[in-house]
Amino acid sequence: MAKKPVTACLIIIGNEILSGRTQDTNLAYLAKELNELGVRMVEARVIPDVEETIVDTVNECRAKFDYVFTTGGIGPTHDDITADCIALAFDTELELHPDVVELIKRREAPPEVMESRLRMARIPKGAALIENPTGGPPGFQMENVFVMAGVPMVMQAMATTFNKERIPGGDPLRSRSIGAYLSESKVAVNLGAIQEEHPDVDLGSYPFYRQDGYGTNLVMRGTDEAELDEMLGKVRQMIVDFGVEPFEE
Smallest gap, in angstroms, from Cβ of residue 70 to its own copies? 15
Residue 145 backbone class (left: φ over 0; alpha: ψ -120 to 50; beta: rest): beta
Neighbouring CB atoms inside 10 A of 170's CB total 17
- Taken as a whole, the chain contains a residue count of 249
Which of 7, 141 has the CB closer to its own copies? 7
Judging by DSSP bridges, how do beta strands 145-148 and 67-71 pair with one another? Answer: parallel
Smallest gap, in angstroms, from Cβ of residue 176 to its own copies? 12
Three-class DSSP category at 225: helix
Smallest gap, in angstroms, from Cβ of residue 192 to its own copies? 4
Which of 92, 174 has the CB closer to its own copies? 174
Which of 91, 249 has the CB closer to its own copies? 249
45: CB partners within 8 A, 6+ apart: 9, 10, 11, 12, 57, 61
Which of 36, 128 has the CB closer to its own copies? 36
Query: Which residues make up the interface to its own copies (CB under 8 A)?
Result: 14-25, 27-32, 35, 41-49, 53, 75-79, 109, 112-117, 119, 151, 153, 173, 175, 183-189, 191-192, 195, 202-207, 209, 219, 221
